Structure 1
Amino acid sequence: MVKKLCKGAYAGIIYLFLYLPILVLIVYSFNDSKYRGNWSGFTLRWYQELMKDRTIISALYNTFTIAILASLLATVIGTAAAIGIHHMKPRAKAVFMNMTYLPVMNPDIVIGISLLALFVWLKLKLGYITLLLAHITFNVPYVILAVLPKIYQLNPHLEEAALDLGATPLQAFFKVILPEIMSGVVTGFLLAFTLSLDDFMVSFFTTGSGVNTLSIKIYSMTKLGVSPKINALSTILFVGVLSLLIILQQRASNIKE
């Protein structure tokens, strides 16, 4: 009994440590005062001002469009790369797997500076395109690592059976292989989307003037103090993600039933 109580208390402390800052942020998004340490009453004006702030809305738009495009393209490239790696000989597979792990283990600042040097060498103008290419680049390894385990779980004779029954290689892939590894592909997409949405360091080095993501916009505001409008935006994002998770969980429960 005591052991269970200790485990529950320990888990409760961990979750409190994780979610208490978010709870404080949500509460102070309704604070009438600009100063976070001073509660001056309930208000919705920061949400209203958020909708009128074109710079924040533009940064939010850039953040989501880049995250969606980069995730989709990284998922396609990463899935194809995972299938290619799976069919390689053991020595070549080991080399390519080490190359896949390297960007994951590298600090973000190394990736950001390296991509900046590459874009300057290629004489590409820093802006939306370079930012998108950078996000695709650092997302691909995560997609590969998410898809490969599902490919390893496949029956090695499944594709051969489909080909023997008259399917073309493309038909075998889209109708037989892809449905079997779809959970890994979706996981890779969601992981890439989350990483792209959250990224600051790589974006900071590879963006140009006039193209801001939300993380860069918030960083630029820290010099003068972060506006409570950011609290309101963070609250909206948190509630949106939480709602999406609840819907997905509910759908998964209905499918199991």
Structure 2
Amino acid sequence: MKNLRFSTVMLWLGLLFIYAPMFILVIYSFNASKLVTVWGGWSVKWYVGLLDNRQLIGSVLRSLEIACYTAVAAVALGTMAAFVLTRIPRFRGRTMFGGLVTAPLVMPEVITGLSLLLLFVAMAQLIGWPQERGIVTIWIAHTTFCSSYVAIVVSARLRELDLSIEEAAMDLGARPWKVFFLITIPMIAPSLAAGGMMSFALSLDDLVLASFVSGPGSTTLPMEVFSAVRLGVKPEINAVASLILLVVSIFTFFAWYFSRRAEEKRKRAIQEAMEATTSETWSEKAPA
């Protein structure tokens, strides 16, 4: 007990506070009772019943589709913004550009959603697009919001990179685009994966922005769950949430596993190159 520190206790209490509700949710997804708060025995009928609930399944698939599109677009835009902020130290409007990139991080989602709604309405009146709000408008809104997170994550990684590796590749004749795809991208791959996963999670979880920029037939899972919870939590909601937790956990594990293998492979290659360079140097210095 003497080795039990206050920080350790608070750490475990924090983890329990975060993950205990998820564990309870998974358990109650197997509840046979129609009342969520009353335990009626073990059953998988709510998972089987999901196959007949086309509205809920449709919202799940729609949210996953939007989240995938958002992750790809946010990583692309956020990475470009991060390169501008880290590799171009001086240009006119740099301070304003940095503020615009990070503004969605501190801007209330209600204001962002209302601004995007007014923008889409004005665009529809001026150029006739978008004719109706749906998946595309939700995707644009989520990309605008998530790109800031990707830019911050990738910028932190870019500031830690050793530029001498890229400069050496260009001195050996490699063109900038080849250096970018063959050297820079592999070195910042963990941050790109982290930004993509964060964007996927934020898009899948968003309710406020989607409520402003969605239209008929484009209801996402958070909107479906929110409207259902107002009338009382249904057991199918617990089953869907449990399946999403399972899929996200598996995806996160594989992403961590492959990124760890790639990082270990890169470190091993660097170590072998350093050992080879050292051995060549000693062989040159050795007397004939």
| Structure-1 separation of matches of 2:5 and 2:166 | 51
> Residue in 1 aligned with 2:75?
75
Instruction: Give the greater-gyration-radius structure (CA).
Output: 2
**Counterpart of 1:31 in structure 2: which amino acid?**
N
| Alignment partner, residue 122 of structure 1 | 123
- Provide structure 1 residue ranges, at least 5 long, that are not aligned to the other structure: none
- The question of 1:164 aligning with 2:171 is answered yes
Unaligned runs of 5+ in 2: 125-129, 266-288
Change (3 A) 1:254 1:86: closer
> Is 1:35–2:35 an aligned residue pair?
yes
**AA partner of residue 104 (structure 2):** P
What is the CA-CA distance between 1:15 and the residue it aligns to?
A: 2.1
Task: Show the counterpart of 1:15.
Answer: 15
1:206 aligns with 2:213: yes
Residues 1:176 and 2:183 are matched in the alignment: yes
Shift of 1:189: 0.9
Whole-Å Cα distance in 2 between the matches of residues 234 and 10 of structure 1? 27
Q: Distance in 2 between matches of 1:249 and 1:162?
A: 29
Distance 1:254 1:163 in 2: 27
Name the TM-score, length of structure 2 as normaliser: 0.82
Contact 1:86 1:93 in 2 (8 A): no
Do 1:134 and 1:206's aligned partners in 2 also have CA atoms closer than 8 Å? yes
SS of aligned partner of 1:208: coil
Aligned match of 2:201 in 190, 194, 204?
194
State how far apart, in whole Å, the 1-side matches of 2:52 and 2:192 are: 38
Change beyond 3 A, Cα 1:251–1:171: closer
Percent of aligned positions that are identical = 31
In 1, Cα distance between equivalents of 2:5 and 2:158: 41
Report the Cα offset of residue 244 of structure 1.
Answer: 3.3
- Name the amino acid aligned to 2:34: K
Counterpart mapping for 1:1-257 below 5 A = 1-2=1-2, 4=4, 6-90=6-90, 92-123=93-124, 124=130, 125-251=132-258, 256=264
Deviation at 1:218, TM superposition (A): 0.7
SS in 1 for 2:145: helix
> What is the RMSD of the two structures over their aligned residues, measured on CA atoms?
2.1
What is the distance in 1 between the residues matched to 2:27 and 2:112?
A: 36
The answer (yes or no) to whether the contact 2:36–2:234 under 8 Å persists in 1 is no
Alpha-carbon deviation of 1:152? Answer: 1.2
- Segment drifting more, 44-53 vs 237-246: 237-246
Could you tell me how far apart the structure 1 residues matched to 2:8 and 2:151 are?
36
Cα gap change, 1:93/1:154 in structure 2, threshold over 3 Å: closer, same or farther? farther
Kindly provide the CA deviation profile for residues 195-243 of structure 1, in whole angstroms up to 9, marking residues without a partner as x. Answer: 1111111011011111111001111112322210010111111122233
The count of residues paired between Structure 1 and Structure 2 equals 257
Letter in 1 for 2:98: M
Displacement of 1:79: 0.9
Q: Following TM superposition, by how much is the alpha carbon of 1:250 offset from its aligned partner in structure 2, in angstroms?
A: 4.9
| 1:89–1:13 CA distance, 2 compared to 1 (3 A) | closer
Of stretches 61-70 and 96-105 in structure 1, the one that deviates more from structure 2 is 96-105
Judge conservation of contact 2:32–2:39 (CA < 8 Å) in 1: yes
